[in-house]
Amino acid sequence: MDIALLGPGCHNCVTLEQRTREAVADLGLAADITKVTDYADIAAYGIMATPGLVIDGEVVMSGRVPTVGEIKELLATHSS
Amino acid sequence: MPTPLPTPTLRQPTPTGVTAARLVLLGVTWAIVFAFNEWVWDAAVSGMSLDPHSRATEAAHYFLYDSAKLLLLLVGMIFAIGLLRSTINPERVRAALEGRPLLLALVLAAILGAVTPFCSCSSIPLFIGFVAAGIPLGVTLTFLIASPLVNEVAVVVLGDTFGWGVTGAYVAAGLILAILAGLLLSRFDLRDQVEAFVFATPISKLHLDGAKPTLADRVKAARIEVRDIVGRVWVWVLIGVGIGAVIHGWVPEAFFVEHAGADNPAAVPIATIVGIPLYSNAAAAIPIGEALYAKGVALGTVFSFMMATVALSLPEAVMLRRVLKPRLLVIFFGIVGVGIMTIGYIFNWVS
């Protein structure tokens, strides 16, 4: 599973990374987590509000920081 | 040891009637807490047998009462607004602006900028998303000016500290400033002043689902908004009210009347320039502005200070530099700065 975190490095993006890593660890998933910090690359995903969470190439959430529980649900939905 | 994947919890949806009843109960609780706020702090002061007329006690009472009141108002109002606007997001705003005649697009951009929940760290993706999709530069910049200047936090804090007449004047001035700045910027062809990569960005339009949100969905969205926005601004409320309390308690009135009254023409530009490095948002700028106003600073000067603090900031300039070339950045800040000073002079002259 490939997870991409979209965000220039603001406070919200750091929080998203922590929560995503926590969710991945809790679920025991093998996931590649990459951070996309370049504005042009972020915009290319089609989002206009950071941070964004991308699972296997699909934007699943943008504009706010989901809770660990929400991330787990998103991950579980996508891995099944 | 890895735990097995839990199945996503599909909770039984709560019936709308139950949700509505909970909302009413929540509203009543909020109103009771709000009504008792002043009494609690009055009782605390007399309960600790402090001298209610000493400067320190008055300042502490003002700080506790006012910050508690503002936070309660913000939570209540943002929740209420969140219930209503859970369907507005930048993608929808962009769709609403596409292909409109310039003047209508500018007015819409200012109004939508005011009502869209928006964090300044999203300015750049939003700018790219708008401009790359063909929204005119002037319209995009109108949105970026209106968004921090006029929003629910500013309206709630202004309404509480200055009253609703002044709030209306502030909102009108902010929207007109955003529209006129966009109009002026539209007069020139400035596309060569935008970094080239912006136009090269492929814009994949996100799928907009047309599902009508249920009441429970709206409550959830409103709760998330309260958490996000209040979580972001509560520190600023405390800082703003704290500085306001110090000004109320210790700065002698004659100082500001003498140096920043309506008859000092230099007060407006000074207030604007002082506001720029004070990077903060409306939640902090407005309580400080109110304290200055109470100490005799003219209303227009206070407006210039608050607007410059919110709309012109160095971090914002550094961020925008990623997409705007230096000349356009200077033009943009110049127009907004002159606009803010003009608003200051107009209000000083009228009031």
The DSSP string of B172-193 is HHHHHHHHHHHHHHHTS--GGG
- DSSP structural state of residue B206: P
Task: Count residue pairs from A and B with Cβ separation < 8 A.
Answer: 85
Distance CA B290, CA B170 (A): 13
Residue B180 has pLDDT above 80, yes or no: yes
Mutate to test the interface with A, among B78, B92, B94, B119 (most CBs of A within 10 A): B119
**Residue A50, SS3 per DSSP:** coil
The string of pLDDT tens digits covering residues A38-63 is 887 887 887 877 888 999 888 888 87
Percent of chain B with pLDDT over 70: 89
- Are A28 and B121 in contact (CB < 8 Å)? no
- Are B125 and A47 in contact (CB < 8 Å)? yes
Between B188 and B252, the more confident residue is: B188
Q: Interface pTM (ipTM) of the complex? A: 0.71
Residues B331, B129, A3: CA angle, nearest 5 degrees: 130
Of A27, A48, A50, the CB nearest to B5: A27
Look at residues B292, B197, B192 and name the one whose alpha carbon lies nearest to residue B240: B292
Q: What is the pLDDT of residue B207?
A: 44
Q: What is the pLDDT of residue B1?
A: 47
- The 3 state secondary structure assigned to A10-49 is CHHHHHHHHHHHHHHHHHCCCCEEEEECCHHHHHHCCCCC
- DSSP structural state of residue B21: H
Q: At what angle do helices B215-250 and B152-162 cross, to 10 degrees?
A: 40
- Minimal CA separation from B292 to chain A, in Å: 31
Of A13, A40, A63, the CB nearest to B89: A63
The string of pLDDT tens digits covering residues B189-224 is 888 888 888 887 766 554 444 456 677 778 887 888
Region B236-244: what's the mean pLDDT? 87
Q: What is the pLDDT of residue B134?
A: 85
- Minimal CA separation from B223 to chain A, in Å: 12
* Distances from the Cα of B345 to the Cα of A18, A32, B114, B164, B338, angstroms: 48, 57, 24, 21, 11
Q: What is the pLDDT of residue A19?
A: 92
Q: Which residue on chain B is closest to A46 by alpha carbon?
A: B204
Question: CB of A19 within 8 A of CB of A67?
Answer: yes
Question: CB of B317 within 8 A of CB of B338?
Answer: no
Residue B279 has pLDDT above 70, yes or no: no
Between B138 and B148, the more confident residue is: B138
Residue B157 has pLDDT above 70, yes or no: yes
- DSSP structural state of residue B209: -
Q: Please tell me the pTM assigned to this model.
A: 0.78
State the CB neighbour count (10 A cutoff) for residue B90. Answer: 23
- Are A44 and B201 in contact (CB < 8 Å)? yes
**What are the structural domains, with CATH classification, of chain A?**
2-79 (3.40.30.10)
- Element spanning A58, H or E: strand A58-62
- Minimal CA separation from A39 to chain B, in Å: 6
> What distance lies between CA B26 and its chain's CA centroid?
25
The string of pLDDT tens digits covering residues A8-49 is 877 778 889 999 999 999 988 888 999 998 887 887 887 877
Residue B277 has pLDDT above 80, yes or no: no
Residue B110 has pLDDT above 90, yes or no: yes
Distance CA B285, CA B291 (A): 10
Distance CA B149, CA B172 (A): 11
- Which of B160-164, B214-218, B252-256, B329-333 has the highest mean predicted lDDT (pLDDT)? B329-333
In DSSP terms, which residues pair with A36 in a beta bridge?
Answer: A6
Cα dihedral B258, B57, B39, B23 in deg (nearest 10): 70
Question: CB of B292 within 8 A of CB of B260?
Answer: yes
Residue A51, preceding bond cis, omega within 30 degrees? Answer: yes
Distance CA B224, CA A67 (A): 10
For residue A73, list chain B residues with Cβ-Cβ distance below 8 A: 8-9
Calculate the average pLDDT of chain A.
85
Q: Which residue on chain A is closest to B224 by alpha carbon?
A: A64
- Are A39 and B203 in contact (CB < 8 Å)? no
Q: What is the pLDDT of residue B82?
A: 80
In DSSP terms, which residues pair with A32 in a beta bridge?
Answer: A2
Distance CA B9, CA B7 (A): 6
Residue B118 has pLDDT above 90, yes or no: no
Residue B102 has pLDDT above 70, yes or no: yes
- Minimal CA separation from A19 to chain B, in Å: 15
Active site members of A: 10, 13
Distance CA B104, CA B196 (A): 27
Residue B30 has pLDDT above 60, yes or no: yes
Residue B116 has pLDDT above 80, yes or no: no
Question: CB of B100 within 8 A of CB of B136?
Answer: no
For residue A39, list chain B residues with Cβ-Cβ distance below 8 A: 124-125, 128, 322-323
What residues have CB less than 8 Å from B208, skipping those under 6 apart?
B91, B92, B95
Interface residues on A facing B, Cβ-Cβ cutoff 8 A? 7-8, 10-13, 26-28, 39-40, 42-50, 59, 63-65, 72-73, 76-77, 79-80
Between B263 and B219, the more confident residue is: B219
Distance CA B142, CA B328 (A): 14
Q: What is the pLDDT of residue B339?
A: 94
Of A26, A59, A73, the CB nearest to B8: A73
Q: What are phi and psi of A72, to 5 degrees?
A: -60, -45
Region B99-123: what's the mean pLDDT? 83
Region B267-290: what's the mean pLDDT? 82
CA atoms within 13 A on the CB side of B337: 18
